[in-house]
Amino acid sequence: MEVVILPGTKQIGKLAADAIESLLRGKPDAVLGLATGSSPLPIYDELAARHESDGLDFSQAHAFALDEYVGLPPGHPESYREVIRREFTSRVNILPENVHSPDGAAADLPAACQSYEDLIQALGGVDLQILGVGTDGHIGFNEPGSSFASRTRIKSLIEQTRRDNARFFNSMAEVPHHVVTQGLGTILEARHVLLVATGAQKAQAVRDFVEGPVAAICAASVLQFHPHATVLLDEAAASSLKLADFYRHTYDNKPPWQGL
């Protein structure tokens, strides 16, 4: 796991976009894994700016969203399918039919989850998965206790997550209790995972998953097993890390030709 501590969200967006740009230049039909939440927004802004100014091309790329609420009507502004479209994919030239989301409105949810897994496989797997992290250590919507072998499935949200996400709805009562999410086993198969965390409210979760034991109580800790995991943090999110100076030293002394 490579931990990179940066001054702020602008720098995080640029560094992550560098990794995505270099992937797309080498493999124009790359498969991207997209996350919702506020953490990835600087990445999406930077990618949209590079598309606009330098013609960064997404025309052959595919994208898979991590998760979706169950029970929101199709087109609901806070459904993750809509959020991903609004915040990112509508701002670049990726084909709408190449952007995939779990179907939280399917009549047969388990079958829809299996089809989603099958489609990820059929397209050769995810090359680069963007992740945020919940204050309880969740990635996607894999809440504490999620199996490290889990695949796309239905999950219940814990109250802390519903409270954290209530800011996107008119009231807590509107926040769904159920979701569909890629599993930890699914996420682990992405060839590169790039997790972004910013702000002091993430400091404890970051400390737990980066330096704590690998344990299902903190789902993101499973990334310690991933052969290519990058964690981009601002100073506030990094503030509880024991080895922060070591991570800074390691990154500052990295050969300039070596990307993330």
Identity of the residue, 13 or 37, whose beta carbon is nearer to ligand GLP in the bound complex: 37
Footprint on residues 161-220 left by ligand GLP (CB under 6 A)? 161, 165
Identity of the residue, 150 or 161, whose beta carbon is nearer to ligand GLP in the bound complex: 161
Count CB neighbours of 84 within 10 A.
24
| Cα 39 to Cα 195: distance, rounded to the nearest angstrom | 9
Q: Are 187 and 139 within 8 A, CB to CB?
A: yes
Identity of the residue, 6 or 56, whose beta carbon is nearer to ligand GLP in the bound complex: 6
Per rule CB under 6 A, is residue 129 in the interface with ligand GLP? no
Known catalytic membership, residue 138: yes
Q: Whole-number minimum distance, CB 168 to ligand GLP, in Å?
A: 9
Known catalytic membership, residue 78: no
One residue of 9, 36, 101, 230 binding ligand GLP per CB under 6 A: 36
Q: Residue 128: helix, strand or coil by DSSP?
A: strand
Q: Whole-number minimum distance, CB 154 to ligand GLP, in Å?
A: 14
Identity of the residue, 87 or 127, whose beta carbon is nearer to ligand GLP in the bound complex: 87
Footprint on residues 47-106 left by ligand GLP (CB under 6 A)? 66-67
Q: Where are the alpha helices (DSSP H) in 130-243?
A: 159-165, 184-188, 203-211
Known catalytic membership, residue 143: yes
DSSP 230: E
What the block records as the tokens of 245 is: 């100076």
Q: Kindly list the catalytic residues.
A: 67, 136, 138, 143
